[in-house]
Amino acid sequence: MAGDKKHRLAIIGSGNWGSAIARIAGGNVSKFGNLFETEVKMYVHEEEIKGRKLSEIINEEHENVKYLPGVKLPENVVATPSAVEAAEGADLLIFVLPHQFIEATCKELRGHIAKDARAISMIKGVEVKNGNIRIFADVIEEILGCRCAALSGANIANEVAEDKFSETTIGYRPNDLATAELFHKVFDTPQFKVGMVEDVAGVSLCGALKNVVAIAAGFTDGLGWGSNAKAAVMRIGLMEMKRFSEEFFQGVKPETFTETSAGIADLITTCFGGRNRKCAEAFVKTGKSFEVLEKELLNGQKLQGTETAREVHEFLKARGKVEEYPLFRSVFSIAYEGEGVKGLTSKL
Amino acid sequence: MAGDKKHRLAIIGSGNWGSAIARIAGGNVSKFGNLFETEVKMYVHEEEIKGRKLSEIINEEHENVKYLPGVKLPENVVATPSAVEAAEGADLLIFVLPHQFIEATCKELRGHIAKDARAISMIKGVEVKNGNIRIFADVIEEILGCRCAALSGANIANEVAEDKFSETTIGYRPNDLATAELFHKVFDTPQFKVGMVEDVAGVSLCGALKNVVAIAAGFTDGLGWGSNAKAAVMRIGLMEMKRFSEEFFQGVKPETFTETSAGIADLITTCFGGRNRKCAEAFVKTGKSFEVLEKELLNGQKLQGTETAREVHEFLKARGKVEEYPLFRSVFSIAYEGEGVKGLTSKL
The whole-number average pLDDT for the span B267-274 is 96
| pLDDT of A4 strictly over 80 | no
H runs (alpha helix) in chain A:
16-31, 54-61, 83-87, 102-109, 136-144, 157-161, 177-187, 200-223, 226-248, 254-259, 266-272, 275-286, 290-298, 304-318, 326-336
Percent of all residues in chain B with a pLDDT value above 70, rounded to a whole number: 99
Quick: pLDDT tens for A24-55.
999 999 999 999 999 999 999 999 999 999 99
CATH number of B207-343: 1.10.1040.10
- Check whether B180 has a pLDDT greater than 50: yes
For residue B81, what pLDDT is reported? 98
Tens digit of each residue's pLDDT (9 = 90 or more) over A242-261: 999 999 999 999 999 999 99
Nearest to A275 by CA among A307, A245, A237: A307
- CATH number of the structural domain A9-198: 3.40.50.720
pLDDT tens for B17-28 read 999 999 999 999
Whole-number pLDDT of residue B181: 98
Task: Please report, rounded to a whole number, the percentage of residues in chain B having pLDDT higher than 90.
Answer: 95
Confirm whether residue A302 is marked as ligand binding.
yes
How do residues A185-220 score in pLDDT, each as one tens digit?
999 999 999 999 999 999 999 999 999 999 999 999
As a whole number, mean pLDDT of residues B129-141 equals 94
Beta-carbon separation of B159 and A235 below 8 A: no
A167 contacts in B (CB within 8 Å)? 228, 232, 235-236
Q: Where are the domains of chain B?
A: 9-198, 207-343
Can you tell me the mean pLDDT for A80-95? 98
pLDDT at A3: 56
Contacts of B36 (CB under 8 A, 6+ apart): B6, B7, B8, B9, B28, B29, B185, B186
Q: CB A302: neighbour CB atoms within 10 A?
A: 11
Check if the beta carbon of residue A217 is closer than 8 Å to that of residue A233: yes
pLDDT confidence of residue A124? 86
Q: How far is A57 from chain B (nearest CA, A)?
A: 29
Statement: residue B261 has pLDDT above 50: yes
Report the pLDDT averaged over residues A131-147: 96
Q: Which residues pair with B194 in a beta bridge?
A: B168
CB-based contacts of A31, cutoff 8 Å, min separation 6: none
Fold matches, B9-198 and B207-343: no
Q: Tell me if A165 and B345 make a contact (CB, 8 A cut-off).
A: yes
Would residue B278 show up in a list of annotated catalytic residues for this protein? no
Please report the pLDDT score of residue A129 as a whole number: 87
pLDDT in tens, B91-113: 999 999 999 999 999 999 999 99
- Give the pLDDT confidence score for residue B124 in this predicted structure: 86
Q: Identify the pLDDT of residue A131.
A: 86
What span, in angstroms and rounded, lies between the C-alpha atoms of A279 and A235? 21
Distance CA B227, CA B340 (A): 21
- pLDDT attached to residue B2: 46
Mean pLDDT value across chain A: 96
**pLDDT given at position A156:** 96
Q: Give the global pTM.
A: 0.97
Task: Tell me if B231 and A261 make a contact (CB, 8 A cut-off).
Answer: yes
- What are the b/e assignments for A324-343, b being 16+ CB within 10 Å? ebbbbbbbbbbbeeebebee
Q: What mean pLDDT do residues A300-317 have?
A: 95
Distance, in Å, from the CA atom of A186 to the CA atom of A26, rounded to the nearest integer, reads 8
Choosing from A41, A210, A230, A253, the catalytic residue is A210
User: Is the CB of residue A186 less than 8 Å from the CB of residue A28?
Assistant: yes
Binding site for NAD(+): which residues of B? 13-18, 101, 157, 275, 302, 304
* Minimum CA–CA partner of B342 in chain A: A165
pLDDT tens-digit readout, A323-333: 999 999 999 99
Please tell me which of the candidates B165, B260, B273 has its beta carbon nearest to residue A229.
B165
pLDDT tens digits, residue range A216-232?
999 999 999 999 999 99
ipTM > 0.95 (yes/no) = yes
| Cβ neighbours of B166 in A, within 8 Å | 228-229, 232
Report, in angstroms and rounded to the nearest whole number, the Rg of chain A calculated over CA atoms: 20
Catalytic residue among B41, B210, B253, B278: B210
Cβ atoms of B161 and B23 within 8 Å: the answer is yes
Contact between residue B21 and residue B11 where contact means Cβ atoms under 8 Å apart = yes
Q: How far apart are CA B233 and CA B154, in angstroms?
A: 19
Interface of A with B (CB under 8 A): 153-156, 159-160, 164-167, 190, 193, 220, 225-236, 238-239, 255, 258-261, 264-266, 268-269, 272-273, 345-346, 348
Alpha helices in chain B (DSSP H): 16-31, 54-61, 83-87, 102-109, 136-144, 157-161, 177-187, 200-223, 227-248, 254-259, 266-272, 275-286, 290-298, 304-318, 326-336
Separation of alpha carbons B182 and B185, rounded Å = 5
| Cβ distance of A235 and B167 shorter than 8 Å | yes
Distance CA A74, CA A85 (A): 19
Q: Is the pLDDT reported for residue A1 higher than 70?
A: no
DSSP-assigned letters across all residues of A156-194: -HHHHHTT--EEEEEE--TT-HHHHHHHHHHH-BTTEEE
Residue of A nearest to B258 (CA): A258
Residue A229: which of B239, B156, B70 has the closest Cα? Answer: B156
| Torsion of the alpha carbons at B198, B200, B203 and B205, rounded to the nearest 10 | -140
Tell me: the pLDDT tens digits for B17-60?
999 999 999 999 999 999 999 999 999 999 999 999 999 999 99
A250 is an annotated ligand-binding site residue: no
Residue A2 has pLDDT above 70, yes or no: no
Separation in Å, CA of B21 to nearest CA in chain A: 15
Enumerate residues 6+ apart whose C-beta is below 8 A from A209. Answer: A240, A241, A244, A245, A308, A312
| pLDDT at res. B1 | 45
Average pLDDT, chain B: 96
CB contact under 8 A, B229 and A159: yes
Residues 6+ apart with CB under 8 A from A162: A71
